[in-house]
């Protein structure tokens, strides 16, 4: 039998910062290298930084993500980071549970040994003083228990896609889940956090994923202008399963994961500081190409 060839994707991600005068740079943490697994394998990876850093070292963070840490001893008016990666991407078939799976119906229980490792992904991290978020989460349950777990997860994924408006924000960070719920709008990171916190209020383990969105199969995809964000849910016997509430995607099709985290603040693709007056900063330009090597390039560009 001839082994199946995994589709190849090339990801080129360039971020450039511009300043009105030469400034000094503090430490920068770069989280752009895709996360290897049975469905995703990094074949080539290069990181070019200009001006060249004084030192560059790689670490695995607490979640096992690859993080590059750069320090500088040179002043400049521009600072750029260019990551070029080629990956084999083999999306799993669309996820589905069978009646034999322990999580087929909700509510379900996690094994005690597993629960000790996922407890922080089950525990809500954001306040919900009036129970508004909890009530919204329960709206995806059937009127009479038990509810099929897949229906809850799929319903919430598509419910956010259909009922909320995607909008880019230039403010730093991710907005509170209640702000997303009340405004009915947000970014991909906002939608991911809303879904994560809602699932945690149902006792379902969920975590944040940062990565890339390949728009070659569907140009209607939203949220791929820079990096993308979605959700992983942990289910007994099924493991971690991907859900993208921005686009209504279930499974890993068109999604290339880079980092997983308990909270979005732990999965920032590029973060650093500069030493100089605030008015010296002119702007940042991000350009990302996610290309199927046997297809035309699909380019996305964002400027801030």
Kindly state whether residues 15 and 116 are assigned to the same domain. Answer: no
Are residues 80 and 183 both part of a single domain? no
39 by Cβ neighbours in 10 Å (0-12 / 13-18 / 19+) ranks as: middle
Q: Return the number of other C-beta atoms located less than 10 Å from residue 243's C-beta.
A: 26
- pLDDT band, residue 295 (cuts 50/70/90): very low
Confirm whether 158 is domain-assigned: yes
Residue 133, in any domain of the structure: yes
In angstroms, the CA 224 to CA 288 distance is 9
CA-wise closest residue to 182 among 130, 133, 245, 248: 133
- The total number of residues shown for the chain amounts to 304
**294 and 256 both lie in a single domain:** no
Query: Tell me, what's the pLDDT at 69?
Result: 98
- Summarize the confidence of residues 190-211 as an average pLDDT: 98
**H/E element, 162:** helix 149-163
**What is the reported pLDDT for 293?**
86
Examine the domain organization and report whether 212 and 223 are in the same domain: yes
pLDDT higher at 206 or 217: 206
The whole-number average pLDDT for the span 11-32 is 97
Q: Give the pLDDT confidence of 177-187 residue by residue, as tens digits.
A: 999 999 999 99
**In this predicted model, what pLDDT tens digit does every residue of 124-150 receive, in sequence order?**
999 999 999 999 999 999 988 899 999
Pairing of strands 40-50, 239-244: unpaired
Indicate the pairing of strand 297-303 with strand 55-60.
unpaired
Number of domains the chain is built from: 2
What average pLDDT is seen over the chain?
Answer: 91
Owning domain of residue 247: 105-266
Angle in degrees, CA 119, 121, 124, rounded to 5: 95
Residue 158 reports pLDDT greater than 90: yes
What's the CATH number where 17 sits? Answer: 2.60.40.2250
Within this chain, do residues 132 and 251 fall inside the same structural domain, yes or no?
Answer: yes
| Cα 19–Cα 22–Cα 26 angle in degrees, nearest 5 | 85
What pLDDT, on a 0 to 100 scale, did the predictor assign at position 92?
A: 73
Q: Residue 8: which pLDDT band, with cuts at 50, 70 and 90?
A: very high
* Domain-embedded: residue 99: no
Whether residues 161 and 209 share a domain: the answer is yes
The pTM assigned to this predicted structure is 0.91
Same domain? For 113 and 67 the reply is no
Q: Are residues 144 and 70 in the same domain?
A: no
Shared-domain flag, residues 63 and 114: no
pLDDT tens sequence across 54-63:
999 999 999 9
Q: Is the pLDDT of residue 94 over 80?
A: no
**Is 161 contained in some domain?**
yes
């Amino acid at each position: 039998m001839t082994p199946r060839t995994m589709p190849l994707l090339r990801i080129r991600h360039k971020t450039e910062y511009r300043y009105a005068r030469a400034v000094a740079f503090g430490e920068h943490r770069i989280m752009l290298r895709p996360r290897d697994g049975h469905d995703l394998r990094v074949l080539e990876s290069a990181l070019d930084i200009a001006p060249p850093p004084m030192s560059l070292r790689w670490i695995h963070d607490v979640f096992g993500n690859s993080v590059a840490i750069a320090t500088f001893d040179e002043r400049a008016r521009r600072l750029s980071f260019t990551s070029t990666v080629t990956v084999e991407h083999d999306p799993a078939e669309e996820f589905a549970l069978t009646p034999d799976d322990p999580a087929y119906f909700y509510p379900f229980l996690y094994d005690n040994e597993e629960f000790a490792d996922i407890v922080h992904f089950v525990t809500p991290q954001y306040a919900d003083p009036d129970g508004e978020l909890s009530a919204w989460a329960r709206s995806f349950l059937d009127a009479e228990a038990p509810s099929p777990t897949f229906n809850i997860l799929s319903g919430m994924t598509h419910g956010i896609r259909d009922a909320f408006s995607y909008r880019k924000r230039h403010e730093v960070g991710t907005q509170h889940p209640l702000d997303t719920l009340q405004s009915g709008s947000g970014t991909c990171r906002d939608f991911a956090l809303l879904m994560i916190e809602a699932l945690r209020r149902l006792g379902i383990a969920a975590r944040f994923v940062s990565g890339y969105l390949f728009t070659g199969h569907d140009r209607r995809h939203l949220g791929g202008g820079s990096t993308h964000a979605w959700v992983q849910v942990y289910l007994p016997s099924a493991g971690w399963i991907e859900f993208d509430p921005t686009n209504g995607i279930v499974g890993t099709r068109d999604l290339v994961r880079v980092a997983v985290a308990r909270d979005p603040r732990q999965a920032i693709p590029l973060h650093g500081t500069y030493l100089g007056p605030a008015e010296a900063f002119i702007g940042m330009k991000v350009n990302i190409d996610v290309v199927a090597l046997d297809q035309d390039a699909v380019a996305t560009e964002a400027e801030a």
